[in-house]
Structure 1
Amino acid sequence: MSENSNPVRGLCFDKDGTLFDFAATWEAWAKAFLRRAAKGDETRAVAIGTAIGFDLPSGTFARDSLVIAGTPDEVTQALMPHFTDMSPQSILDMINEEASIAPQQPAVPLRPLLEGFRAQGIALGLATNDSEGPARAHLASVGVTDLFDFIAGYDSGYGGKPAPGQLLGFAQAVNLPPEQIVMVGDSTHDLEAGRAAGMRTIAVLTGAATEQDLAPHAHVVLRDIGEIPAWLVGQTGK
């Protein structure tokens, strides 16, 4: 199949590392969460950070950190041995509470970009391994919730990535064949989900993964989502 054989009528975005700069958002979340969870005990906060691949003294995630592509449930499971006095639900609630208020730094100015896609008649979806509640809070914090036709977290009933359930849910919601939708993400989980759903895939470099990590799984690698409009012109031949 040539890249131009199907028009692009839908774009499904990952959230963290794609719409929003991963480091700017989630490094702040990790610092706040760990210090809250450890009740101000810095030594304990550092130790807990290692369980989720976060180095508190340097404020950075390891490239293989569970937080980068995992779900809050998976992060909760990794944290449970450190919080034997808390239920898994209590840990998850704390994760989601801190995630909902984490500062968001868009990868590019989002509203004009997304409005431009809508003006072209392109349906927009969000598929994230975050919980749906924090995801909606993050979109609302930058005033773009209304531009999305579909918003799904790992807990919205479609499963999480790299399984394709969220993406197929988006395709069904907007009544488009997967071949006319492009999945946009910053991790191999995103790209594998897109391919499993039968979609083209765009990788962006605003997350933790490198071009070398992503290129084997993507139809194209772009610097950030701001380069998608120019890519779309190439698909239509305009």
Structure 2
Amino acid sequence: MTHRSNSIKSTMNTRNKLQEILGFVFDFDGTLVDSKIDFPLMKEKIVQLLKKWDVYVKGIDDKLYALELIQFGCNSLRKDPLALARFREEALTIVEHLEMERCSNAIPFPDTERALNEIHQRGYKIGIISRNGKTAIKEVLSRFSFPHDVVLTRDDVEKIKPDPSHLLKAINVLGLKPSQTAMVGDHPIDMKCGKGAGVFIVGVLTGVSTERDLREAGADVIVRNLAELVANLRSYGIQT
């Protein structure tokens, strides 16, 4: 009886939260598209670059993602502007090559276009934020019909997610408040970003993360895919 009561309470809380939502901000890789970017290889190559520039610290790659490792390298070389510029150029060349190699063949998940179109038709504003570069994102968006009101890549912001400023900038462009926004993503980075921004957080199981990973990182609700998110909007009778 207690379990059922908790389940009903959870469903009611989700419905109440969704009724306040006027816009959704989506992660890109693993949420909208299956790009298959080789992030472990990217990280490995950046570690090799750190070693080449003699700024590698043992164990640092256990704590940081590839883009954060690049920032670590830049910080380590900040006293030598020329070296910093060369390191950053080499690092971004590695990242952009791996992104474009995969994004040129990236495809949406089966439910993506239909779900985004229905969300858009229901009157919600739609944003997309990504740690990927602008060139890679534009390449994918040029091939598929994703309704959206704003796209912010790493090239469009000073700090990338999980820093909440990435998401907050998108919310500002959409003309919304955090309380009116839901962040939808497949990775703990997305959950942490949403938590920091104070938005409703939807974890989606289309990436590599488990339900436990997403809940521990701050997800308010978990869905298997975007079709299930839209089904929830329908079943709750929510429409703006």
Q: Provide TM-score, normalisation by structure 1.
A: 0.71
Give 1:212's aligned residue.
212
Quick check: 153-162 or 183-192, which moved more?
Answer: 153-162
Letter in 1 for 2:145: V
Letter in 2 for 1:130: N
Aligned-partner SS, 1:118: helix
* Contact map agreement 1:14 1:185 (CA 8 A) in 2: yes
**Max Rg structure:** 2
Give 1:58's aligned residue.
none
Q: Is 1:97 aligned with 2:101?
A: no
Instruction: Report the identity percentage.
Output: 26
Gaps of 5+ in 2: 1-11, 50-61, 75-85
Letter in 2 for 1:181: T
Aligned mates of 1:159, 1:50 — CA distance in 2: 21
Shift in Å, 1:66: 5.5
Alignment of 1:216-227 (within 5 A): 216=216, 217-227=218-228
Say how many residue pairs are matched: 202
Letter in 2 for 1:93: T
* Contact map agreement 2:45 2:94 (CA 8 A) in 1: no
Q: Which has the higher helix share?
A: 2
Give 2:81's aligned residue.
none
Aligned-partner SS, 1:114: helix
Aligned mates of 2:118, 2:108 — CA distance in 1: 16
Please point out which of 110, 119, 122 is paired with 1:108. 110
Q: Is 1:26 aligned with 2:27?
A: no
Aligned mates of 1:160, 1:235 — CA distance in 2: 33
Please point out which of 26, 35, 38 is paired with 1:13. 26
Q: Provide TM-score, normalisation by structure 2.
A: 0.70
* Contact map agreement 2:47 2:69 (CA 8 A) in 1: no
Alignment of 1:132-211 (within 5 A): 132-141=134-143, 143-144=144-145, 147-211=147-211
Q: Is 1:230 aligned with 2:231?
A: yes
* Contact map agreement 1:7 1:235 (CA 8 A) in 2: no
Letter in 1 for 2:95: I
Letter in 1 for 2:121: A
Aligned mates of 2:134, 2:160 — CA distance in 1: 11
Gaps of 5+ in 1: 35-46, 53-63, 81-85
